[in-house]
Structure formats: structure tokens, C-alpha cells
Structure 1
Amino acid sequence: MVENLVCGLCGKVEESSCHLFSVYEFTWRVWCLCFEWLGVSFVIHKDPLVNFQQFKLCLASDVVNDVWGAIWVGVVSGIWRHRNSVTFDKGVVDALEIFALVHVNVRSWIFAKSCCNSFTYPNWVLNPVDSTLCRKLVYAVCDVFINHRGIDTKRNIAGLLYNSLTRMEVRSFLDSMNMKPGDRLFDHIDRAILGSKVGVAVFSPRYCESYFCLHELALFMESKKRVIPIFYDVKPSELVVKDNGTCPAKELQRFSLALEEAKYTVGLTFDSLKGDWSEILRDASDAVIMNLLEVEEERKTMKRKL
């Protein structure tokens, strides 16, 4: 049994969790770099557990505190790996190296756990606690978001697809089913889209007349999510964003780019007068399941690479 193990970093005193992760001057330097990056002042408690508990922000949202918690874990795991490198591989004590790895590793962990593909590394490094970034770190709240024009499709294909997926125990979002009076429209819908894994865009004759439909589609494309188009009683060539004088030019361009991307994505077509309803629901459900499985496999592959 080994007793009084000397610290692998300083080589002078007995190694303990308090010394290694809090008290040692090298460790203190790593924490100071981290706090400077976050733009906060902090008292480092010698007990790592208390330090972790203090690292939570009492007035912050759960998502923000998840980010802070991940940063804490990144620092502690970085110190431990560095300690092993110095002890067993003759590595050099370097606080800046640990700090740089915290940037990379924590962002990778959050990226893998969240559902956002537009969480850029430069934005993360420049401002890790920016509220707009934290709003992007939304963990999965549903598997599928059904984007549709209610007046055209709510009582037919969109509603039927929602019921079909629900019976298959696929968590689906349809505004009329998942929202209640008092919910803030943009906040609720944006959160659901960013928190979904796959989108289904049901294009219909009056789809492009709806600002909300186009906004949802643009958000899907901007967040690099998979979208399954269903062209319901409309041809792709008939879908055009029109300027009615009420929408800013920047938004029109945003909507047009998203629509063009969707039109050139392999999807399903359906004629409500001639088509087989059971067939379109089966094909749409199968496409959703297939894409969900592929997204999950991509997520597992990414985690294995971390």
C-alpha cells in the first residue's frame, strides 16, 4: 500500500484533492485564467466539492449553469490529465496548455450533448457566457418538429403524421398539440426547433404566405439540422418567397435561401385527391425513423472521437 504519495506536479508535498485541484499555485493559475476568460472574480475554496457548488450561478438558467458546470469539469479533468502526463510521460507543467484544452474540450462536450450545429468555436472563445450562445445550447426537447401551414395541413397530413409518430413513441412537436395559451410564440417554437433532432417541412399551396413557416424553415437550415420535405398539393417550382412590403429585405433573403435549400433536398410528394393516404403516412414515418437513427449514430460517432 502506497502512503504519503507526493504530488505529481510539484513533487514536494503529499498529494490530495485539495492540493491538486485548488491549493497548488499552478492550479490556482489555471483557475485564474479561466475566471479571467469568463469575466468574473471568484474565491477558490480549497475543497473541490465546495468549489464546484460555488461555481453554480444562483440566478442563472439551467442551461447557463450546465455550461458553467462543464467548464468546471473541463478544468478539473484537464489538471488531472496534465498531472498524469507530468508523472508518467515526463510532460512539462504548463497552465496555458490546460487552459487551451478547456476551450476545445468543453466546447466539444457541449456540442455533442446539444442539438445545435451552429455553435461556432470563435464565438465560444470570445464570449462563453453570452446569453445568445447559451440559448443555442438547447438539449433535445423533441425528436421531430413538424413545420407546416396550419390552414392547409393541420387537419390532414400534419395532424395525421403527428398521431402516427406519437403512436410509434416518437416525441413530436406540432404547435396545436404542444403549445398552450400564454406561451410566447417565438421563444417556444425556436426552442423546440433547436431542441429537435429532425424536421419535417410540409409544403402546401399557401405555405410561403406565412412568416412563421418561413422563419421556422430558415432556423432549421441555419442550425444545420436534417429536414424531410413533403410537397403536399404543390410542386417545388411553385414555392416562391414574395415581397408583400412588410418583411425586411434581410429576412426575405434569409427565407429565400432556406426555401431553395429545402427544394433541392430529396423529399416526398403527395396529391391529396389522388394519393394513397396510408402510403404517404407510412413513407413519411419511415423517413423520420431512418433519419433519427442516422442522427443518433452520428452523435455516437462524435462522442467516440472526443
Structure 2
Amino acid sequence: MAFSSPSSSPSLPSISRWAYDVFLSFRKIDTYDNFAYYLYYALCRRGIKIYRDDEDSEIERGEVISPSPTALKAIEDSKIIIIILSPNYVSSWWCLEELTKILKCKEIVLPVFYDVNPSEVRNQRKSFGEALAKH
């Protein structure tokens, strides 16, 4: 009688409950052409599946916007969230809506402080305090 060792048995494809490895949340005006762009492509080169919501590119100034249902679903379907907190992040209603959804349903959230001091975010000072006071 022959026995097969675990190392010789065929491997089963892994089934993930996640549609995306990472959801990338950022303020386009601050980071899209620099940090967010390079981070996105560096992660993609590593084979990491990323959701990046770029739908606000066609929005007219003054138009009321909110995250698309696709973006909100992608938050739920992502294993990890990376939030790039930049000076204008909280001045965007869109970003705040995403952030609300993220904080309600995610445990793994990685903040990146881009051109802001973490204490400005924690203590809601400068651009963060002003924008949050408006909302």
C-alpha cells in the first residue's frame, strides 16, 4: 500500500473571499500624479490586486459627488485599506464618505501621512481641523 506525503499531493487553488488585496483611498488633487501613482504601480508590479477609484476625474467644479456604489462595494471586498492622508483629503466629501465606510467595516487600515504631520490629523488641526469643521 502506497501513501503519499502532504508535500507530494497536488495543491489546491486558494480561494479568497477578497476581490482585491488593497483598496487605495487618496485625494487626487494632492497625490495622484506623484505618491499615489507610484505606490499603485509598485504594488501592481508585485502582483497585488488594487482597487483605485478614479471616477472623480470627470466631475465639474461645485457638483455634488459621492463615492460610487462600486467603490463602496470594493471597500467591503478588499482585504486591506491604504488611506493616503494628505492636506486636502478631508476637504473632499467623497473621501470622507469613503473614510466613513472604511472605518465601519474594516479592521486592517494602513494610514500613510503624505505632506501632513500625524498630530494634525489626530488633533484635527490646520487643514484637517478646518475641513472637518465645515463638514
What TM-score, normalized to structure 1? 0.32
Corresponding letter in the other structure for 2:133: D
Q: CA deviation at 1:170?
A: 0.4
Shift of residue 175 of structure 1? 1.5
Alpha-carbon distance in structure 2 between the residues aligned to 1:199 and 1:212:
16
The one of 179, 184, 190 equivalent to 2:72 is 190
Match of 1:75 in 2: none
8 Å CA contact 1:197–1:225 kept in 2: the answer is: no
The whole-number CA distance in structure 1 between the counterparts of 2:132 and 2:77 is 29
3-state secondary structure, aligned to 2:29: helix
Counterpart of 2:6 in structure 1 is none
* Whole-Å separation in 2 of the counterparts to 1:179 and 1:210: 11
SS at match of 1:238: helix
Identity %: 35
1:243 match: 133
RMSD between aligned alpha carbons?
2.6
Structure 1 gap segments, 5+ residues each? 1-112, 115-138, 248-306
Task: Report the secondary structure of 1:170's partner residue.
Answer: coil
Counterpart residue number, 2:12: none
SS in 2 for 1:242: helix
CA 1:179–1:212 in 2, change beyond 3 Å: closer, same or farther? closer
Shift, 1:215, TM fit: 1.5
1:9-48 alignment, distance < 5 Å: none
SS at match of 2:18: coil
1:202 aligns to 2:103 (yes or no): no
Number of residues of Structure 1 aligned to a counterpart in Structure 2: 106
* Separation in structure 2 between the aligned mates of residue 234 and residue 166 of structure 1, nearest angstrom: 26
**Conserved 8 A contact 2:76-2:106:** no
Number of the residue aligned with 1:218 = 100
Spell out the pairing of 1:236-275 with structure 2 (5 A cutoff).
236-239=118-121, 240=128, 241-244=131-134, 247=135
CA distance in 1, matches of 2:132, 2:99: 15
Structure 1 contact 149–213 (Cα < 8 Å) conserved: yes
| Bigger Rg, structure 1 or 2 | 1
CA distance in 2, matches of 1:170, 1:187: 23
- Normalized per residue, the structure richer in helix is 1
CA deviation after TM superposition for structure 1 residue 180, in Å: 9.9
Q: TM-score, normalised by structure 2?
A: 0.68
Segments ≥4 residues shifted beyond 3 Å: 178-181
Higher strand proportion, which one? 2
CA distance, structure 2, for counterparts of residue 220 and residue 172 of structure 1: 15
Counterpart in 2 of 1:148? 26
Q: Is the 8 A contact 2:79 2:108 kept in 1?
A: yes
